């Protein structure tokens, strides 16, 4: 059976696209990889992608800015993703806390699993962490963040599960290994799973167990889903069959142009996607031009120039 060896991307809801872009590029120093229409409502919403130079699976953060849809604020809580970790090198914590102070970003520092995590939120309140660790990703060097301190892709996602045993079961069905519970008092309600194999990129899921916490509410400032890496459609089909044999309902395949996707809602309430890695973001733009133009899939028959006039302004540099 092929392995699911890490996270492919995460997707969240924002409000204003310009504020979202400015934060992820100018504060965090990520590359703006792609801007497309939202395939199911193309006339109203962007889909924005950030990552490393190429948009390598395991570095990608995507957003739907919901300005034109008038979506209300969400609430992060039980039954959904509650944070995403991004890798920074050992020794970079002081640089990032200083950078956050300079940009007016509130943060907290926590120790767990022999790591340091700097917790913060994006402008809409979506929770993130910078986590010290190793990665096989090179930082994007097109920002003012020094390369020695740059973000090196994703470290993890945290699932605040409404059914922890159910979340454990689906992760173990996926072949992920339970490493144990954090022994630090601040993080003792956190159980860690790690992807199989020797990958050092986006290979951790933490399951948060707080049964008395309020339920999350989907909206601006919350995550929509986490996607896991599968190599191609054949492997995706294999995993769909395995998940169904173990009682999970998988969707049909969805064409996302840069990858193909299937989804489940895991027992703890989070949406898990299984996204292929065999296409990539350079299928319709050269690597050095990623993000420069609004894109749509070939199968979507719409007037892109007309849609661009209806979408909110977005200045990129």
Per-residue model confidence as pLDDT tens for the chain (317 residues): 889 999 999 999 999 999 999 999 999 999 999 999 888 776 778 999 999 999 999 999 999 999 877 788 999 999 999 999 999 999 999 999 999 999 999 999 999 888 999 999 999 999 999 999 999 999 999 999 999 999 999 999 999 999 999 999 999 999 999 998 876 566 569 999 999 977 778 999 999 999 999 999 999 999 999 999 999 999 999 999 999 999 999 999 999 999 999 999 999 999 999 999 999 999 999 999 999 999 988 888 888 888 888 888 899 97
- Pick from 150, 269, 157, 259: which is nearest to 205 by CA? 157
Paired residues of 263 in beta bridges:
273
Residue 250 belongs to domain with CATH number: 3.10.180.10
- Say which residue the tokens 């969707």 belong to: 251
> Can you give the residue range of the structural domain that contains 133?
7-295
Q: State residue 188's pLDDT score.
A: 67
Express the helix, strand and coil content of the chain in percent, nearest 5 each: 20, 35, 45
Whether 224 is covered by a domain: the verdict is yes
Whether 275 is covered by a domain: the verdict is yes
pTM of the model: 0.95
Q: State residue 16's pLDDT score.
A: 95
Q: Counting Cβ atoms within 10 Å, is residue 300 exposed (0-12), middle (13-18) or buried (19+)?
A: middle
Whether 309 is covered by a domain: the verdict is no
- Say which residue the tokens 């860690």 belong to: 192
User: Do 118 and 108 meet the contact criterion of CB atoms below 8 Å apart?
Assistant: yes
The secondary structure of 110-128 as a DSSP string is EEETTEEEEEEE-TT--EE
Q: State residue 42's pLDDT score.
A: 67
Whether 312 is covered by a domain: the verdict is no
Whether 317 is covered by a domain: the verdict is no
Q: State residue 310's pLDDT score.
A: 86
Neighbour-count burial for 233-271, b at 16+ CB within 10 Å, e otherwise: eebbeebbeebeeeebebeebeebbbbbbbbbebbbbbb
Q: State residue 71's pLDDT score.
A: 82
Number of domains in the chain: 1
Q: How far apart are CA 19 and CA 15, in angstroms?
A: 8
Whether 75 is covered by a domain: the verdict is yes
Whether 168 is covered by a domain: the verdict is yes
């Amino acid at each position: 059976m092929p392995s699911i060896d890490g996270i492919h991307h995460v997707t969240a809801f924002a409000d204003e696209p310009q504020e979202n872009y400015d934060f992820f590029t100018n504060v965090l120093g990520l590359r703006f990889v792609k801007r497309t229409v939202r395939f199911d409502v193309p006339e109203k919403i962007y889909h924005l992608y950030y990552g490393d130079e190429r948009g390598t699976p395991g570095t990608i953060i995507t957003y739907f800015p919901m300005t034109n849809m008038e979506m209300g604020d969400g609430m992060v809580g039980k039954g959904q993703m509650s944070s995403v970790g991004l890798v920074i090198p050992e020794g970079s914590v002081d640089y990032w806390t200083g950078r956050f102070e300079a940009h007016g970003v509130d943060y907290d520092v926590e120790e767990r699993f022999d790591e340091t995590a700097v917790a913060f939120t994006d402008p809409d309140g979506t929770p993130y962490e910078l986590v010290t660790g190793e990665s096989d990703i090179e930082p994007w060097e097109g920002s003012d963040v020094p390369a020695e301190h740059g973000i090196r892709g994703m470290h993890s996602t945290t699932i605040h599960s409404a059914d922890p045993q159910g979340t454990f079961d689906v992760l173990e069905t996926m072949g992920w290994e339970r490493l144990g519970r954090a022994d630090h008092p601040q993080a003792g309600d956190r159980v860690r799973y790690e992807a199989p194999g020797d990958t050092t990129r986006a290979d951790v899921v933490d399951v948060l167990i707080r049964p008395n916490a309020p339920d999350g509410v989907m909206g601006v400032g919350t995550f929509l889903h986490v996607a896991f890496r599968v190599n191609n459609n054949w492997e995706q089909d294999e995993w769909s069959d395995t998940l169904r044999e173990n009682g999970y309902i998988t969707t049909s395949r969805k064409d996302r142009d840069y990858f193909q996707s299937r989804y489940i809602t895991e027992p703890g309430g989070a949406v898990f996607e299984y996204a292929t890695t065999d296409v990539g973001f350079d299928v319709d733009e050269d690597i050095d031009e990623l993000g420069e133009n609004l894109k749509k899939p070939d199968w979507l028959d719409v007037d892109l120039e007309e849609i661009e006039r209806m979408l909110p302004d977005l200045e990129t540099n």
